[in-house]
A = this chain, B = another copy of it.
Amino acid sequence: MRTRVKTTGLAPLTEGRRRGRPRSAAAREAILRAARDMLADVGPSSVTVEGIATRAGVGKPTIYRWWSDRHAVVMAALMDVEADAPARAGRSPLTQLRQQLHAIAERFATPTGRHVTAMLAAADPNSELSKAFRNHFVMARRAEGAAFLRAAIQSGELGRLDIDVALDLLFGAVFFRLLMGHAPLDSKFIDNMFELALCGVRRGTSQQRNTKARRR
């Protein structure tokens, strides 16, 4: 039989040592590297399977052995950006959360970041891959953010609030600027936005300071 499991480029061919020549991990890496390079040049919708194959010095069928279709390869290539988020050692949970938002903004403000955003929006929202993609890029961060928020509530920095709603406010604002591009996604915006979103449930005196700082 010819059919073979597609690993979607995520799982590392476990399943207990097959017979015959093993799949070339080198080929897989070359493919991803080529795809990443091309993405940087031309954007996701202009990356072609044939282009990747040529650039990676690989046959097209080898690509299709690992991924089910063009979309999947491109997504995999985008997922492969370095794992970032080097464990911000901040003071308070709230400060850590704010720093995280800054980091995200920086990360996605690059051309590649734009491509990721584009793929996020363009893909069939119901596909398994698309979900994995969203999960990998956004929801994982959002989960981090949730931890910070919970910690802040625990520590008394914040009053009671719906964590999901708060996260969507914060992350939404960031990605909205990213997608629309109507105004710069700079650190000032993040601070202001952060402040406004949470000022109603803030405890302590940092509130006033920040509110002043925000004034233009």
**Chain A residues packing against B (C-beta within 8 Å):** 43, 45, 114, 117-118, 120-122, 124-125, 134, 138-139, 142, 161-162, 164-166, 168-169, 171-177, 179-183, 189, 192-193, 196-202, 214, 216
How many copies are assembled?
A: 4
Q: Complex Cα distance A176/B161, Å? A: 19
Q: Complex Cα distance A194/B179, Å? A: 21
Q: Complex Cα distance A4/B16, Å? A: 33
Q: Give the interface SS of chain A, mostly helix, strand, loop or mixed.
A: helix
In the complex formed, the residue of B with least CB distance to A134 is: B180
6 tightest A-B CB contacts, nearest first: A121-B121, A199-B200, A172-B176, A172-B172, A200-B200, A122-B122
A43 touches B134 (CB 8 A): no
- Chain B positions within 8 Å of A192 at CB level: 162, 165
B139 touches A182 (CB 8 A): yes
In the complex formed, the residue of B with least CB distance to A137 is: B180
From residue A63, how far is it (CB to closest CB) to chain B in Å? 16
A182 and B114 contact, Cβ closer than 8 Å, known pairs A162-B214, A176-B172, A196-B201: no
Q: By CB atoms of chain B within 10 A, which of A180, A183, A196, A200 has the most?
A: A180
Q: What are 22 pairs between A and B in contact, CB < 8 Å?
A: A118-B122, A120-B179, A120-B180, A121-B122, A139-B180, A139-B182, A162-B196, A165-B193, A165-B196, A168-B193, A169-B173, A169-B193, A169-B197, A171-B172, A172-B172, A175-B175, A175-B179, A176-B176, A196-B200, A196-B201, A200-B200, A200-B202
